[in-house]
Amino acid sequence: MSNRRTRANAIRALSMDAVQRANSGHPGAPMGMADIAEVLWHDHLAHNPANPHWPDRDRFVLSNGHASMLLYSLLHLTGYELPLEELKNFRQLGSKTQGHPEHGHTPGVETTTGPLGQGLANAVGMALAEKTLAARFNRDGHAVVDHRTWVFMGDGCLMEGISHEACSLAGTLGLGKLTAFWDDNGISIDGEVKGWFTDDTPARFEAYGWHVVRDIDGHDGEAVERAIGEALAESDRPSLICARTTIGFGAPNKGGKKSAHGSPLGDEEIALAREELGWEHGPFEIPNDVYAAWNATEAGERREAAWQERLDAYREAHPELAAELERRLAGALPEGWERGAGDFVRSVVEKGETIASRKASQNALEGYGPLLPELLGGSADLAGSNLTLWEGSVVVLDDPAGNYVNYGVREFAMAAMANGICLHGGFRPYVGTFLTFSDYMRNALRMAAIMKAPNLFVFTHDSIGVGEDGPTHQPIEQSATLRLIPRMSVWRPCDAVESAVAWKLAIERGDGPTSLIFSRQNLAHQTRSDEPVAAIGRAATSFARRPAAPTRS
């Protein structure tokens, strides 16, 4: 008979066995969070294992990515295309079960996590995307965008500064369909966190304007269920569920200790844990009734089918909106883009203006913005300097269906949130700050590139001319180091024409991020005939597509 504890134990067993077999990995957090995961994934998560891309699925983010075996176990047990063989190959080259969850490699992994705190910020971005898309497209009686965002995180995510940036903004934005679970186990790598992490976390989140469910026993399914119920009942504020857990729950000697965090438990301890948990099955052995109790494929297909019916009714009532929603979810450019964008570039050539390229960038937004309702812009409190606002900008706090986010002075969360917005779908985010502060965002830039997220980063105040602000504002190595990030496109246009083309190609790029670097100073217009203008794009394209040089054998 399968019950809550048995289902959770299946996660524990798979996690400790896979880590043991790989002889590396993190058994502690999966075993500690298994009971919480069971309640969420068995009873609440709206997903369809047969279609990980169903647009209206709930988003689940494992921000404490080292707990990857928790997610792999859940994906396997609920019926995603992740067979047991893949779990046996945990951390092996070519497997779908890398050490940390990798978006684009493993079905059902919404975002790549591992750099602590960033998954949480991605989740805030996803929740913002859901809210904004819903406001734009839902109509009375037609809730076609209606899903939640759930995020698991550990002490590490909360110690990271980005958690402050992202959660503070999530409170301001009132992201009521975002729920975060804090794995309050009192342990991180160096041992008991009381030596380095003594914040009053619930009070901290209350101060952000979150709804906080304090101090629940993360091993008591009924308590977790009640806490989720409270989160579901709250629609105006994001929820934090503070769940006390034991790292490595079930391991009699290593449970509750740092030794459970990031090393295999060892055969002896695993045998004792099996006894302690009452799990009588061998390594990687899951009884059929447990599989049956976990399997979510039928429920998932029913859920998606019900949504399809809602979408059909919506299409009937609002055909144009439905077509536009589908286009945006598919990430396709609008009809007429090529012509409209081409016209805009020609108009810039004709004007031949000598202006700062940041101004040329704003002009590009004026030119392309009306064609692209999927643009969701923002800046880290430098809108007037980055020139990221354009005529059609509407701030989301004023109008939930808007297209501009005041991120405040939060560069790192801004970039990571924009990654989450990209991954969610339905939007093309662009975010701006000074080039020199790209360093504050760097790991999120790297993550965008790793995930092939077509994020647009606007970096203004390039180069020597900003020296009057002093060395702190003068970017020296930033352009070069951005170019070092594999798969990051970097544009440093020399005039307004190149700026317009750079924006166009950045928008057309679907398989990775672009950094657009603009000046505060005027840049002289370069006179060109038609052929060199066309070549701006061609050169970039052929450069990007240049085959790798042959290697000598």
Ligand X SMILES: Cc1ncc(C[n+]2csc(CCOP(=O)(O)OP(=O)(O)O)c2C)c(N)n1
Residues that bind Mg ion (CB under 5 A): 154-155, 185, 187-188
- Total of residues contacting ligand X (CB under 6 A): 18
- Could you give the CA distance from residue 69 to residue 48 in angstroms, rounded to a whole number? 20
Q: Concatenated DSSP letters for 103-139?
A: TTTSTT--S---STTHHHHHHHHHHHHHHHHHHHH-B
Q: How far is the CB of 213 from Mg ion (least distance, A)?
A: 18
- Which residue, chain included where needed, has tokens 């569920």? 241
Cβ closest to Mg ion, residue 190 vs residue 309: 190
- Could you give the CA distance from residue 242 to residue 245 in angstroms, rounded to a whole number? 10
Cβ closest to ligand X, residue 192 vs residue 324: 192
Cβ closest to ligand X, residue 17 vs residue 184: 184
Establish if 187 lies at the interface with ligand X (CB under 6 A). Answer: yes
The option from Mg ion, ligand X, none interacting with 116 (CB < 5 to 8 A, set by class) reads ligand X
Q: How far is the CB of 351 from ligand X (least distance, A)?
A: 46
Cβ closest to ligand X, residue 45 vs residue 153: 153
- Could you give the CA distance from residue 18 to residue 16 in angstroms, rounded to a whole number? 6
Per CB under 6 A, which of residues 434..453 are in contact with ligand X? none
Establish if 188 lies at the interface with ligand X (CB under 6 A). Answer: yes
Establish if 161 lies at the interface with ligand X (CB under 6 A). Answer: no
H or E element that contains 432:
strand 428-434
- Could you give the CA distance from residue 169 to residue 121 in angstroms, rounded to a whole number? 10
The option from ligand X, Mg ion, none interacting with 29 (CB < 5 to 8 A, set by class) reads ligand X
Per CB under 6 A, which of residues 139..158 are in contact with ligand X? 154-157
Residue 459 bridge partners (DSSP): 433, 517
Establish if 127 lies at the interface with ligand X (CB under 6 A). Answer: no
Cβ closest to ligand X, residue 10 vs residue 247: 247
The option from ligand X, Mg ion, none interacting with 504 (CB < 5 to 8 A, set by class) reads none
- The residue from 16, 247, 371, 441 that contacts ligand X (CB under 6 A) is 247
Cβ closest to Mg ion, residue 101 vs residue 154: 154
Nearest to 10 by CA among 66, 62, 75: 75
Tell me the catalytic residues.
411
Establish if 259 lies at the interface with ligand X (CB under 6 A). Answer: no
Q: How far is the CB of 413 from ligand X (least distance, A)?
A: 14
- Report the Cα 334 to chain-centroid distance in Å: 25
- The residue from 25, 27, 28, 512 that contacts ligand X (CB under 6 A) is 28
The site map against ligand X for 58-77 (x = CB under 6 A) is ------x-x-----------
Q: How far is the CB of 97 from Mg ion (least distance, A)?
A: 22
Q: How far is the CB of 234 from Mg ion (least distance, A)?
A: 25
Cβ–Cβ < 8 Å for 349, 372: no
- Report the Cα 326 to chain-centroid distance in Å: 21
Establish if 189 lies at the interface with ligand X (CB under 6 A). Answer: yes
Per CB under 6 A, which of residues 92..121 are in contact with ligand X? 114-116
Q: How far is the CB of 192 from Mg ion (least distance, A)?
A: 10
- Could you give the CA distance from residue 13 to residue 38 in angstroms, rounded to a whole number? 14
Please identify the residue of the shown chain whose CB is closest to the bound Mg ion.
155
Per CB under 6 A, which of residues 166..185 are in contact with ligand X? 183, 185
The option from Mg ion, ligand X, none interacting with 462 (CB < 5 to 8 A, set by class) reads none
Residue 127's region, left for phi above 0, alpha for psi from -120 to 50, else beta, is: alpha
Dihedral angle of Cα 70, 76, 78, 81, to the nearest 10 degrees: 140
Q: How far is the CB of 65 from Mg ion (least distance, A)?
A: 13
Query: What are the residue ranges of helices labelled H in 376-495?
Result: 383-386, 411-424, 442-451, 478-483
- Could you give the CA distance from residue 194 to residue 196 in angstroms, rounded to a whole number? 6
- Which residue, chain included where needed, has tokens 């008991």? 192
Residue 151 bridge partners (DSSP): 61, 180
Cβ closest to Mg ion, residue 190 vs residue 289: 190
Residue 456 bridge partners (DSSP): 430, 514
The option from Mg ion, ligand X, none interacting with 21 (CB < 5 to 8 A, set by class) reads none
Please identify the residue of the shown chain whose CB is closest to the bound ligand X.
154
Establish if 27 lies at the interface with ligand X (CB under 6 A). Answer: no
- Could you give the CA distance from residue 394 to residue 184 in angstroms, rounded to a whole number? 39
Cβ–Cβ < 8 Å for 32, 247: yes
Rg (CA), the chain: 25
Q: How far is the CB of 341 from ligand X (least distance, A)?
A: 39
Q: Which stretch binds ligand X (CB under 6 A): 17-25, 75-83, 187-195, 489-497?
A: 187-195
Largest CA distance in the chain: 79
- Which residue, chain included where needed, has tokens 């019900």? 306
The option from ligand X, Mg ion, none interacting with 114 (CB < 5 to 8 A, set by class) reads ligand X
- Could you give the CA distance from residue 345 to residue 371 in angstroms, rounded to a whole number? 14
Cβ closest to ligand X, residue 187 vs residue 448: 187
- Could you give the CA distance from residue 11 to residue 77 in angstroms, rounded to a whole number? 8
Cβ closest to Mg ion, residue 193 vs residue 421: 193
- The residue from 29, 77, 82, 290 that contacts ligand X (CB under 6 A) is 29
Helix, strand, or coil here: 537? helix
Per CB under 6 A, which of residues 275..304 are in contact with ligand X? none
Q: How far is the CB of 184 from ligand X (least distance, A)?
A: 9
Cβ–Cβ < 8 Å for 415, 443: no
> DSSP secondary-structure letter at 450?
H
Cβ closest to ligand X, residue 69 vs residue 77: 69
Q: What Cα–Cα distance (Å) separates residue 220 from each residue in 150, 215, 404, 449?
A: 19, 12, 42, 40
Please report, as ranges, the residues that interact with ligand X according to CB under 6 A.
28-29, 64, 66, 114-116, 154-157, 183, 185, 187-189, 247, 261
